[in-house]
Amino acid sequence: MAAHPHGGLYAATICPMREDGALDLDSLERHFEAVLATGGLDGLLLNGHAGEGVFLSRDEAATVVRRARAIAPGRKVLAAVSAEATAEAATDARAARTAGADAIMVFAPFSWALGADPRAIVAHHKGIAEAAEGPIYLFQGSVGSGGLHYGPDTLAALLDIEAVVGIKEGSWETRAYEDTLRLTRTLRPDVAVMASGDEHLFACYQFGSDGSAVSLAAVVPGLIVALDAAVRAEDTDAALAIHRKLYPLAKAIYARPGHLAAARLKNCLARLGRIDSPACRAPTPRIDPAEADRLAAALAPCLEPRDD
C-alpha cells in the first residue's frame, strides 16, 4: 500500500492501572517503550476504547499524552476524545493538543448507538475541530453499533470538514470498509483510510489501506508490521500465514461482551510481563480463569521472538 502523509501503522495502546484504579505510570511508560521498540510503527493512538479513555479524567488523559510525547518524540501521537457533550470533548481536545498530541481522533459518544441526528454528528465534529486547531481523525464504528457507524451521506458531510485528515475504519465488515474507502477516495483522496477491524486487517490491506490503528499492535506489534509489509510486497502466502495467527487472538480479544476487550488486552500484557497488573478501572471486571486460558492459547502462536 502506498505511503500516505496522514496514514501509517499506529498501536492503540492500553492504560495500565493499579489495583485501586490509579494510573500506573511506570507500567505505562514500559508499555509505550515495548510497543515502539518494534521498527515500522509510525506512532500511538492514546485514550481510545482499549485505553479506557471514557474512564479517564481530562488531567489523566493529558498525562497519558505527555508521557507518550516524552517517550516517543519522533513518532506521531493521536489522542482520542469521546465525551458526550461537544463543549467537553472540545476542551478535552485542547488539553490533549497542549499536552503534545499531533492530532485528535473523535470517537462517537456511546449514546449515539441509540440513534443520532446527522446534524448533531457534524456539529460535534466541527466544534472539536475548531477547538483542536489542528488535524482530526474520524472513527467509523462497527456496522452493528447503530449511530456509531456513519452512513454515506453523514460520512460525506464529515469529509467536508477541512480539518479531517484521516479515518480509523472500524466497520468490522469488509463490504462496509470498502464502501468507506471508495467514498473517501472519491470525495477526499487526501484523507487517509486506516483499517481498524483487527480480525480483518488482511482483507482490508488487500482492498487498499493507508495503514491501521489497532490494539493488536499493542500486544504483537511485530506481526502487524509484518502483515503490512507482506501485503505491500504482494507476498500473499506470507500475509495469509500471519493473518491465520492473528485471527484467533483478535476473535478472543473482541469476543462478546465487547466491553471486556481492554481487560483481555491487559491480561495478555500482564501475562507477558509488560505491565504489572491486568486491573481495569471500575466497573470493568477482570476476566475469569477459563477465558484467560483461552486467551493464552490464542496468544501463543503469535509470540515470535521479536514480540517476547
Residue 166: what pLDDT?
97
Domain that holds residue 283: 8-307
Q: Which residues pair with 81 in a beta bridge?
A: 106
Q: Which helix (H) or strand (E) holds 99?
A: helix 86-99
Is residue 140 a part of any domain in this protein? yes
pTM: 0.94
The total number of structural domains in the chain stands at 1
Helix residue ranges per DSSP H, 136-273: 152-159, 174-187, 201-207, 221-232, 236-253, 261-271
Contact 96, 81 (CB under 8 A): yes
Instruction: Tell whether the torsion through CA atoms of 15, 17, 23 and 28 is positive or negative.
Output: negative
Q: What phi and psi values does residue 135 have, to the nearest 5 degrees? A: -70, 150
Q: Which helix (H) or strand (E) holds 151?
A: none
Is residue 296 a part of any domain in this protein? yes
Is residue 162 a part of any domain in this protein? yes
pLDDT surpassing 70 at residue 304: no
pLDDT surpassing 70 at residue 83: yes
Is residue 177 a part of any domain in this protein? yes
Residue 306: what pLDDT?
44
C-alpha to C-alpha distance for 90 and 100, rounded to whole angstroms: 16
Residue 1: what pLDDT?
43
pLDDT surpassing 50 at residue 251: yes
CA separation, residue 128 to residues 33, 124, 134, 143, 280 (Å):
30, 6, 10, 24, 28
Coil/strand/helix, residue 63 = helix
C-alpha to C-alpha distance for 6 and 193, rounded to whole angstroms: 9
| Long-range contacts of 51-54, Cβ-Cβ distance < 8 Å, separation of 24 or more | 51/12, 51/13, 51/14, 51/15, 51/80, 51/262, 52/14, 52/15, 52/17, 52/262, 52/280, 52/281, 52/284, 53/15, 53/80, 53/81, 53/82, 53/107, 54/82, 54/110
| Strand blocks (E) in the chain | 8-12, 43-46, 76-81, 103-106, 136-140, 164-169, 192-195, 211-214
What CATH number is attached to the domain comprising 118? Answer: 3.20.20.70
pLDDT surpassing 50 at residue 56: yes
When pLDDT is averaged across residues 40-47 and rounded to a whole number, the result is 96
C-alpha to C-alpha distance for 73 and 139, rounded to whole angstroms: 25
C-alpha to C-alpha distance for 110 and 212, rounded to whole angstroms: 22
Residue 68: what pLDDT?
97
pLDDT surpassing 60 at residue 293: yes
Residue 109: what pLDDT?
93
Is residue 75 a part of any domain in this protein? yes
Is residue 2 a part of any domain in this protein? no
Contact 10, 105 (CB under 8 A): no
Residue of 49, 51, 42 lying closest to 24 (CA atoms): 51
Cell of residue 256, nine digits: 462478546
Is residue 104 a part of any domain in this protein? yes
Do β-strands 164-169 and 136-140 pair in parallel, antiparallel, or remain unpaired?
A: parallel
Contact 58, 95 (CB under 8 A): yes
Per-chain mean pLDDT for the chain: 94
- The 10s digit of each residue's pLDDT in 97-122 is 999 999 999 999 999 988 889 999 99
When pLDDT is averaged across residues 25-45 and rounded to a whole number, the result is 95
